[in-house]
């Protein structure tokens, strides 16, 4: 790995870790949800994130680096929190809400990488393409959460009929 690529590789490996973390969380969410449609969405998102991590890893290899293959310790703590929250709440909104929160974190990390003035133009374009996918997936999860919140509010005894 050349010195010129070192920073780009570090940034991409950080995004790979984040992407693997989110894939792991989607896999767990697919097992936790009671809604078959949500389970399918979460399994699909798990696969999409693993594919994205592989694509970013190919870029790392092309620069002479070794791509990250594991998630972070922080993700393990997030999974434990999600397990505890779901055990207490036991509803779809808690699972989807946890995933939307994870999406916020992923989106923020990609945006931070795009703002890094020390990465090369090629790496910035790689990140920008990945970010556009991540942003769409974030928005989909946000909309799903808001839909479930609206459904819960409509079912409330306090909601006027």
Digit-coded pLDDT (tens) for 56-101:
999 999 999 999 887 765 556 565 656 655 555 567 888 888 888 8
pLDDT of 26 over the 70 cut? yes
Query: What are the phi and psi torsion angles at 147 (to 5°)?
Result: -65, -45
Give the domain range for residue 54.
Answer: 3-155
pLDDT of residue 39: 94
Would 144 be classed as within a structural domain? yes
Taking the C-alpha atoms of residue 71 and residue 69, their distance in angstroms, rounded to an integer, is 7
Residue in 139, 136, 133, 34 with CA at minimum distance from that of residue 93: 34
Ranges 22-26, 34-38, 67-71, 110-114, most confident: 110-114
Would 160 be classed as within a structural domain? no
DSSP 113-149: HHH-TTS-HHHHHHHHHHHHHHHHHHHHHHHHHHHHH
Tens of pLDDT along 27-63? 988 988 889 999 999 999 999 999 999 999 999 999 9
Provide the CATH number for the domain around residue 28: 1.20.1260.10
Into how many domains does the chain fold? 1
Would 161 be classed as within a structural domain? no
Would 25 be classed as within a structural domain? yes
- Model pTM greater than 0.75? yes
Would 18 be classed as within a structural domain? yes
């Amino acid at each position: 790995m050349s010195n010129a690529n070192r920073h780009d590789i570090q940034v991409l490996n950080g995004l790979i870790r984040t992407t693997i973390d989110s894939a792991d969380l989607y896999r767990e969410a697919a097992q936790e949800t009671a809604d078959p449609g949500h389970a399918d969405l979460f399994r699909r998102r798990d696969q999409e994130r693993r594919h994205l991590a592989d694509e970013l890893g190919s870029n790392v290899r092309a620069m002479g680096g070794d791509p990250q293959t594991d998630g972070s310790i922080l993700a393990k703590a997030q999974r434990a929190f999600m397990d505890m929250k779901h055990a207490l709440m036991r509803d779809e909104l808690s699972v989807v809400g946890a995933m939307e929160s994870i999406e916020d974190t992923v989106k923020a990390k990609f945006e931070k990488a795009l703002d890094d003035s020390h990465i090369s133009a090629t790496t910035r374009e790689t990140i920008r393409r990945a970010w556009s996918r991540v942003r769409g997936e974030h928005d989909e999860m946000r909309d799903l959460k808001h839909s479930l919140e609206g459904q819960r509010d409509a079912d409330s005894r306090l909601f006027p009929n």
